[in-house]
């Protein structure tokens, strides 16, 4: 935790009801950055100081050691985190990432984002997140399984269908979720399908879950273009990040008639002013792992992709890619945030001054948690929906949620991110007021 982390804020820093102040913008600490947005929204809705204090602190912060035996016979000890931010509206919900750069502040920020994300689409979950500090590219499948199962065992009394429900995130997938479910089931001696979402279809996963986040991005992009009076067909879009979210969004946007002129991953970017054939690019990545060398366009850097003249920019990679250092060079009408936290708070003001319409992450990429909710509901009822039902219900919730945020934005004359935070903070605070405080 940094010296100036918001979690250390003293009582005198509680916002004064009815007085909006400038958020304390930063580009470095993801928890501080997220809390700057929360603070600003809390001030605008005149949040009760007591509820403000509650929502500023995670409910649980857990750090575990994960000792495993490597394939070589050596023992290695990894560090794992799980943060539950708020469960007033329902069980904690949030992914688990395996990444060498995971920190407790990052996980705290992501857990809080999940609280606001679930509230903005009005589904009955709270926010949680987890991570293991490891480089999965340097671990065998067997070693990854040991890490996953030991991490799950360390959290066995925290996880559960009514308490905390993980899902895939960076460098985790359906297979990892299956290992978590199996480990939990062995300890609890029950089937426990609802303990995780994003599972394989064969063990209780939902149709449409893998594509859900990218599909949600496509839906809100169309809604934004409609709101701005811009055509869908022919609008130019660039997608930074060609993993599950970015590749699905790119494919679906192309199917809707937008022209995907650029895509990128960690290795390179590819630009073609006439449009990139996404199916070809996906096949190249399946065969070569990365876009590097893909012959369907000219190679560009990720930074060059961000500065292209576009109608829609869709950052779907990692946090903090649009900052105060490059925001002035952004040349697009719409930003749809497929990743969590791709735009720093400092960059928000620059983009707003430029007239860029930003669809914030807690709305734009909420398709994943929405269909995770569908999966959880199906697991609990024992009755599974066809894919059309999943897609139709996702679209209905996403369109309604976009309209809800847009209405708040218009009513209070604020940008869409501030409106989304105001709406979600009010929804969470309302539940706290109704439930009262256990003493």
Q: For the chain, where do the domains classified as CATH 3.40.50.720 start and end?
A: 212-359
User: What percentage of residues in the chain have a pLDDT greater than 70?
Assistant: 93
28 pLDDT tier (thresholds 50, 70, 90): low
CATH 3.40.50.10860 given to domain 58-195: yes
CATH code of the region 212-359: 3.40.50.720
pLDDT in tens, 68-108: 999 999 999 999 999 999 999 999 999 999 999 999 999 99
In this prediction, residue 340 carries a pLDDT of 86
Which sequence positions are flagged as catalytic?
Answer: 129
Q: Cβ-count burial of 426 within 10 angstroms (0-12 exposed, 13-18 middle, 19+ buried)?
A: middle
Q: What is the DSSP letter of 327?
A: G
Q: How many Å apart are CA 280 and CA 10, to the nearest integer? A: 55
pLDDT in tens, 149-208: 999 999 999 999 999 999 999 899 999 999 999 999 999 998 889 999 999 999 999 999
> Under a CB-based contact definition with an 8 Å cutoff, are residues 358 and 415 in contact?
yes
Q: Which tokens sit at 317?
A: 């990679």
User: What percentage of residues in the chain have a pLDDT greater than 90?
Assistant: 85
pLDDT in tens, 238-257: 999 998 899 999 999 999 99
> Rounded mean pLDDT of the chain?
91
Q: Which tokens sit at 377?
A: 């509901």
pLDDT in tens, 328-383: 999 999 999 999 889 988 899 999 999 999 999 999 999 999 999 999 999 999 99
- Helices in 355-386 by DSSP H: which ranges? 361-364, 367-381
pLDDT in tens, 212-225: 999 999 999 999 99
pTM: 0.89
Q: For the chain, where do the domains classified as CATH 3.40.50.10860 start and end?
A: 58-195
């Amino acid at each position: 935790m940094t010296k100036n982390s918001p979690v250390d804020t003293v009582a005198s820093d509680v916002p004064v009801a009815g007085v909006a102040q400038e958020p304390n913008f930063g580009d470095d600490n993801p928890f501080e950055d997220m809390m700057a947005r929360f603070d600003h929204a809390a001030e605008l809705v005149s949040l009760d100081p007591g509820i403000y204090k509650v929502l500023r602190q995670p409910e649980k912060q857990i750090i575990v050691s994960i000792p495993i035996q490597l394939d070589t016979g050596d023992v290695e000890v990894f560090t794992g985190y799980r943060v539950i931010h708020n469960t007033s509206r329902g069980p904690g919900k949030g992914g688990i990432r395996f990444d060498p750069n995971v920190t407790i502040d990052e996980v705290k920020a992501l857990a809080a984002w999940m609280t606001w994300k679930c509230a903005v689409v009005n589904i009955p979950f709270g926010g949680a997140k987890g991570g293991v500090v490891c480089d999965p590219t340097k671990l065998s499948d067997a070693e990854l399984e040991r890490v996953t199962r030991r991490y799950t065992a360390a959290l066995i009394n925290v996880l559960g269908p009514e308490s905390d429900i993980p899902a895939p995130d960076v460098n985790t997938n359906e297979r990892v979720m299956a290992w978590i479910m199996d480990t939990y089931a062995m300890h609890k001696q029950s089937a426990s399908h609802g303990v995780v979402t994003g599972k394989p279809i064969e063990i209780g996963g939902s149709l449409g879950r893998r594509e859900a986040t990218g599909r949600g991005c496509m839906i809100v992009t169309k809604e934004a273009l409609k709101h701005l009076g811009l055509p869908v067909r022919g609008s130019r879009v660039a997608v930074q990040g060609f993993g599950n979210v970015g590749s699905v969004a790119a494919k679906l946007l192309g199917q809707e008639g937008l022209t995907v002129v650029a895509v990128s991953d960690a290795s390179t970017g590819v630009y073609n002013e006439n449009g990139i054939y996404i199916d070809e690019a996906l096949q190249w990545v399946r065969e070569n792992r990365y876009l590097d060398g893909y012959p369907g366009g000219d190679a560009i850097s990720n930074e060059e992709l961000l500065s292209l003249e576009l109608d829609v920019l869709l950052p779907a990679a990692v946090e903090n890619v649009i900052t105060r250092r490059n925001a002035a060079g952004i040349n697009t009408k719409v930003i749809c945030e497929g990743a969590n936290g791709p735009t720093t708070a400092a960059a928000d003001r620059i983009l707003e001054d430029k007239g860029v319409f930003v669809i914030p992450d807690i709305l734009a990429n909420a398709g994943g948690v929405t269909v995770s909710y569908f999966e959880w509901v199906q697991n609990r009822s024992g009755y599974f929906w066809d894919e059309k039902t999943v897609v139709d219900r996702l679209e209905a919730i996403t369109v309604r949620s976009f309209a809800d945020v847009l209405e708040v934005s218009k009513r209070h004359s604020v940008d869409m991110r501030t409106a989304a935070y105001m709406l979600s903070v009010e929804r969470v605070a309302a539940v706290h007021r109704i439930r009262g405080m256990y003493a």
